[in-house]
Amino acid sequence: MKRNSSGKRGNSKAAPVKVSIWVDDLPSVRRGGALFAIAGVGAIALLTWSGWLAVSLIVNPSSVSWLNNVLPEWGRFTLPGGTTQTLAEIAVQESRLGRTLGEPIAASLPNAPKDLLLPILETQSRCRGSGAENAACQQIIELRAYRPNSGLNQGRLDQGLSEKRFELVDRLKVTGIEELMAIAPLHQLGGSRKLPLTRAALIEGKPPDAGVWLNLSGELQRGSAAIKYGQVVRYDPQRDRLQTLLPWTSPAGQMPHWQQVTGISKQNELVVNQTVGLEPQFQVYQVRLPHAPGEPLRLEAIALTEASNQSRYRDGLLLARNGLWSTALKLLTEQTEGQGGGAIQAQIDLIALHAHVTQAQADRTWASPTQQIAALVIDGQWAKALEALRSARTSGYDIKSLLAANAELLQRRVEAALRVDPNQPVVQQWGAMTVASQRDRSAVVTWLRQHPLHSGLLSARSPQSIQQSIQQILALLDPLTDPSQPPPADLQSKPPLRLIGSVLPLTSIRASDWYSPRPLSLPDRQFWYQVEVLGFQDGQHWRRSPFSLPNSGKLAWNHLGLTSDSQIQIVSESEGTLAQAVSIKAVQWRGGNLRLLAAADPISLGTQLAIALTLPSLTPIDSLTLTRLSQQQPQQTAILLTTLEQQLQQAGQTAGQALPAAQVSNPEHPETQALAQIGDWQVDRLELTGEGQPESVITIKTDGNASDRTVIFSSSGILLYSDLGLGKQTIVAIVDIPQNAPALMIRKGQRYQIEQWSRSHQRFE
């Protein structure tokens, strides 16, 4: 309150006072300082860590080896001067983790360190317990590269591998291959489970670059065929780097190898054989070097993609992509322009690789008409294939079933051939027959009108001529008829008699037990024989005893297509040759058993039985010795020999100088010494299981047995059949059954039985 000059209070109001307050923004300054302080501390920490990392790389590089596990393959670097270990020390270290060491692989190149590649193995979980020590149970989980210590006295040439000390330079985590990828060429259903890699080995052949190339592989059993699959890995000793390059699979059971396929670079390419049955399929990969530092090396497949617009070239690729390799090669080599340089020449060389295989298959003689016809069609030899088809038909094969079994193989080739050149009457015949085998004859007419020829079948001017031409094509589908002539009246509805049976002499018969369209009478100086039918072919169907059909002799007579002139051949087992033809007089079908009554001149059976056959014996695809088989398939033959030794030992059998235990004591390579003893044994290769790979049949003459013994192995060396040790059992014939698996005719004591391969049970039964 203000006072006046006299010191008395005044009545006026006080005047307002203006106050200015200055505020400094201290919190903002403090926040900026905090952030700056944090950034500074982080920078100091980063610099400190970088310094520590740099010092560690110089002083103790093994302490930061984890960097190579974090970085991608192309960015890895060498960590020299790390901790050194002997192989024994590495083994002890890994054993603590439940792992073992695989077989070391020397990664030596000219003017490069003598490095060592070491697989690290771990027992598969499904193999734990019994058999866990089996090599097949050990899978590769890691691949490491080690370098011998270059210190004092560590590089002596006379120093043993176990004494050397090694430092780790790189490591690569190894995972398996997906099952779906491994079985992809077979077009079968599969899962996403990982298949283990169990073996590491150098790729055969000379690689095109200064690297060490390996196959990490495994094996998957599908039926009697063994699919090999794996991963290609490359080690660069100059950069100390392991690199995963390519997963692969081979239904043919062959490992990828180096081979010069193209003549462009004059370097080897990596060849992967994916052949299935008679369909050749090779993947050929060329090595492509990095374009710039830091880029990885890669493998590039030669693909049949169009690199030119030239029409003849495009037609050639179309034929090749549909499996007509020889026709495609001829078309491409005939053209003289528009080749487009190295890429097209590489494609031509790839096609030539396939054509070489298809030509070889077409030129050989096959035991099965199905294989013979398929081989000719695959090679584009349509006219010869048609001749083979007619020949098979006159031999009693059901052509409709034969065509249906190869429908996919035929149809895509027919369509491709007609797209390139529609004026091919023989090819159109194949197309029409294939359609008829899958559908009906009305579909054939529709198909023929969709594929008109400039000259040929449908160039006829009248509908009657067109229909006649179609009927000539379809006549091949009718059994036992000649397309140019009408079928005989007695063969229009009766299929040929095709059966397997056992034969016994009869001293007397009761006519009421048998059905015959004529009164039974035995010709002078002949005898009665009973044929117990074990299996017969009824049109398209193969039937085996016991037969689930009505107990009617008349029905059986008509069902088999028997006539008063029907004959079968009787083979005496003791003679080993065709004894004679016998005439069928009557039939009996009772309780599921089918018997034939035959009359013939006396047959010398001795103490042995006889067999009745109206089907041909299966002819081997080829015959070779065990030594030759080992040269072609060393891994499979090694498995085969080991199993064969076990079978002989379990049976207590000897076969001359077969597999004496003292001669096969080498645990690493017993097959080498075994071959020295039995390498001249003959092996017949026959297709018995329908898996596309021939099985190996070995007939053994053992001591103390009058009958031969037989063992059958799959293409991968797995035992499928053995009668070693079965004193009263032996195979007397292997019979070719049209459109069915071949039959093993087996004698057990005084009776016969037939066994065929069961795909569902994976055995003969």
User: Are 273 and 364 in the same domain?
Assistant: no
Amino acid at 194: K
Last residue of a domain, which of 489, 521, 544?
A: 489
Indicate if the pLDDT at residue 259 is higher than 60. Answer: yes
Give the SS3 label for residue 614.
coil
Contact assessment for residue 118 and residue 144, using Cβ atoms and an 8 Å cutoff: yes
- Helix, strand and coil in the chain, % to nearest 5: 30, 25, 40
Average pLDDT of every residue of the chain: 77
Indicate if the pLDDT at residue 373 is higher than 50. Answer: yes
Indicate if the pLDDT at residue 410 is higher than 60. Answer: yes
Position 529 scores a pLDDT of 87
In a domain, 655, yes or no: yes
Contact assessment for residue 733 and residue 656, using Cβ atoms and an 8 Å cutoff: no
Q: Which residue range forms the structural domain that includes residue 295?
A: 76-301
Q: Which of 625, 622, 613, 621 is nearest to 733 (CA)?
A: 613
- pLDDT one-digit tens code per residue, 517-573: 888 888 887 888 899 999 888 766 788 888 776 667 777 887 777 776 677 777 766
- pLDDT one-digit tens code per residue, 665-707: 444 455 566 777 787 888 888 888 877 788 899 988 766 566 6
User: Are 208 and 269 in the same domain?
Assistant: yes
Position 496 scores a pLDDT of 60
Q: Which of 676, 583, 575, 661 is nearest to 625 (CA)?
A: 676
Distance of CA 344 to the CA centre of its chain: 29
User: Are 456 and 550 in the same domain?
Assistant: no
Q: Which of 233, 236, 88, 87 is nearest to 169 (CA)?
A: 236
- pLDDT one-digit tens code per residue, 294-324: 778 899 999 999 888 888 899 999 999 999 9
User: Are 578 and 608 in the same domain?
Assistant: yes
User: Are 138 and 113 in the same domain?
Assistant: yes
User: Are 629 and 605 in the same domain?
Assistant: no
- CA distances to 57, 482, 540, 559, 563 from 495, rounded to whole Å, are 85, 15, 10, 9, 11
Contact assessment for residue 81 and residue 64, using Cβ atoms and an 8 Å cutoff: no
Give how many domains the chain has, as a whole number: 4
In a domain, 258, yes or no: yes
User: Are 439 and 374 in the same domain?
Assistant: yes
User: Are 129 and 263 in the same domain?
Assistant: yes
User: Are 386 and 461 in the same domain?
Assistant: yes
Record the tokens describing residue 71, joined without a space: 């970085």
User: Are 359 and 263 in the same domain?
Assistant: no
Indicate if the pLDDT at residue 617 is higher than 80. Answer: no
User: Are 282 and 319 in the same domain?
Assistant: no
pTM of the complete model: 0.59
User: Are 158 and 278 in the same domain?
Assistant: yes
Q: Across the strands, what pairs with 27?
A: none
- pLDDT one-digit tens code per residue, 711-742: 999 888 889 999 888 878 888 888 888 778 88
In a domain, 59, yes or no: no
